[in-house]
Amino acid sequence: QVIDVLRRIRQTHRLETVVLHGDTCASMCVPIFLQGQTRVAARSSLWLFHDVVKSLNATGSKVRVDAMATGRLIRRYFTRAGVSAAWLKKMLRHIKGGKNYWQTGQELIGSASGIITNALDNTTARPEVRPAPRARPRRSTRGSLLARCLNGVLDQCVFAGLAWPCYRRCAT
C-alpha cells in the first residue's frame, strides 16, 4: 500500500528518498526506497537483502523461501527502478537458500547497482555554535601570586574547576 501511495505522489510531485549516515534500509524498505526518482543514501548506510519467505504457521517460527515471489518482487520493483541486472544476479546468488545479504551504501555505489542514484557524503556540516562568553575572574589589586596566575593558565583551569593544580603550576 505504501508503494502505491508513493507512485501516486510521483504522478504530481518529484519524489526523493533518503537513507542517512549509519541508517539501515532492510527488507521491504529497499523497494520503498526504489520509488524515489532521486535516491540519496550515505556511503555509511547499511542495506539488507533476502528472499521472500512465507510463514507456515501462526507464530512464524516455521518459514519457507518463496523463490517465485522473490522473482516477482525483483521484476516489479528492482528492475522497473533501473537496478543493474548484473548486480541483481550477484545478489540472488548471495540470498539463495534463505541467507541474508548485507551491503553498505559504499558497496552499492561502488558496484554500480543502480539502487543509489546520489551519494550522500559521510560528513555533515554542523551549524556554527559560538561559545557563550565566560566571565573573567576578578584580579586582585594586592599583587599576590594567585592574581598573577589568573592572567595565565589559572583562569582557564578555574573555569574547568581545576584551580589547585594550575595554581601549583603557576607558582613553580
Please write the tens of the pLDDT for every residue from 46-63: 999 999 998 888 887 778
Residue 29 corresponds to which cell in the numbers above? 524498505
Helix count and strand count (H, E) for the chain: 8, 8
Q: Which amino acid is at 157?
A: C
Query: Is 168's pLDDT higher than 90?
Result: no
The whole-number pLDDT of residue 58 equals 80
Distance, CA of 103 to CA of 20 (rounded, Å): 15
pLDDT in the model for residue 126: 66
Instruction: Identify which has the larger pLDDT, 21 or 172.
Output: 21
Separation of CA 30 from chain center: 15
Q: Is the pLDDT of residue 2 over 60?
A: yes
Higher pLDDT, 160 or 127: 127
pLDDT greater than 80 at residue 90: yes
Give the global pTM: 0.68
**Three cell numbers written together for 124:** 555533515
